[in-house]
Structure 1
Amino acid sequence: MEEFKTAHESKVSITQLMLPSHSNFGGKVHGGHILNLMDQIAFACASKHSQRYCVTASVNRVDFLHPIEVGELVTLKASINYTGRTSMVVGVRVESENITTGTKRHCNSSYFTMVAKDEQGKGMTIPGLLVENTEGARRFARSKRRKEEAFSRDTQFDSSKFKIEEHMEFLEGENIKLSLR
Structure 2
Amino acid sequence: MWMLVLGLFIFLATHSVRVFAEPWRQGLIARTGANQYKVAYSVVSLLGFLLIIYGYGMARQAPIVLYSPPIFTKHIAALLTLVAFILLTAAYVPGTKLKAAVKHPMVLGVKTWAFAHLLANGTLHDVLLFGSFLVWAVLSFRAARKRDAADRISYPPGSAVRDVVNVIIGTALWAGVAFWAHGAWIGVRPFGM
Normalising to structure 1: TM-score of the pair?
0.24
Structure with greater proportional helix content: 2
In our comparison, the structure showing a higher alpha carbon Rg is: 1
Normalising to structure 2: TM-score of the pair?
0.23
